[in-house]
Amino acid sequence: MLLQSHGGEIALLPALPPAWKQGSVAGLRARGGFRCGVKWQGGALATTPVQAQLSGSCTVRARTAFPLGSDRSRMVGPEPVLIFSTTAGQTYRITAVR
């Protein structure tokens, strides 16, 4: 419901129940060596810290557009996706565009 990692992507809030209007979770593990937290408000993504356990590439998908620094998510199919390079031990904060 809150995070899915499959096919080389991390999907944020793929099946959030409509009754869960706001909340947060921390310490979720995703394939590829990532640890994530998710905070949502109004039933949509607010922020997500993604901590890389390994250096490499990270692909994040969400239902809401989001930037990471100067990089912006782009539409891939019906949802925004962002691909970025990671360094082991670094945390990357994703904040949704409202």
Per residue in 24-75, pLDDT (tens digit) is 999 999 999 999 999 999 999 999 999 999 999 999 999 999 988 888 899 9
Kindly list the distances between the CA atom of residue 51 and the CA atoms of 28, 56, 75, 78, in Å, as whole numbers in the listed order.
Answer: 10, 12, 23, 26
Distance, in Å, from the CA atom of 29 to the CA atom of 66, rounded to the nearest integer, reads 20
- For position 81, what pLDDT does the model report? 95
Distance, in Å, from the CA atom of 58 to the CA atom of 24, rounded to the nearest integer, reads 21
Nearest residue to 88 via CA among 61, 57, 43, 63: 57
Indicate the domain borders of the chain: 3-95
CATH 3.40.50.720 fits 3-95, yes or no: no
Q: What is the mean pLDDT of residues 5-16?
A: 94
